[in-house]
Amino acid sequence: MTARRRSFGAGEARGFTLVELMVAMVGGMFVSIAVFALAKHASGFSMRQARVADATLQSVVGFERMRADIARAGFLSSPNLSKDPRVCRTADDDLYPDRLKQLASVFIERIPDGLSTEATENGLAPRRIRLAGSYA
């Protein structure tokens, strides 16, 4: 059996009908809408992930800076100025100002009562840390 070639006469035109073209165009539009929706969702997701990664990195950098500052506290100084007899005569000496009597490498103090923060409004008693040393 041999396949016959169909020959088109002058009256028969080759091509698609209008219905076939419309079906193909509608199908193509559905595919392009689906691709656009997926691309939009993927770009929004990647932007959210980039913001989360940036916030995480900034918090790590902040904690590392705080860790380094605490590690350098007291560098090239006395750990506690008022208790070091080689630096201060006595802690009760009136020659030193009050803030200098409290000078220490790491000094943790209560936040004053008049200062309102979110933590004090929630019934917590936050502390404040004061560091002293050579940070140059």
Domain spans of the chain, in order of start: 16-71, 77-136
> How many beta carbons lie within 10 A of that of residue 79, not counting itself?
13
Cross-strand pairs, 87: none
**What's the confidence (pLDDT) of residue 111?**
72
Distance CA 30, CA 68 (A): 57
Q: Which contiguous run of DSSP H or E holds residue 131?
A: strand 127-131
**Residues present in the chain in total:** 136
Q: What is the mean pLDDT of the chain?
A: 78
Q: Would you call 15 exposed, middle or buried from its count of C-beta atoms within 10 A (0-12, 13-18, 19+)? A: exposed
| Rounded mean pLDDT, 113-135 | 72
**Contact (CB, 8 A) for 65 and 57:** no
**What's the confidence (pLDDT) of residue 54?**
95
Distance CA 16, CA 11 (A): 15
- pLDDT tens, residue by residue, 64-94: 988 888 877 777 766 666 666 666 655 566 6
> How many beta carbons lie within 10 A of that of residue 88, not counting itself?
19
Q: Determine the 3-state secondary structure of 91 from DSSP.
A: coil
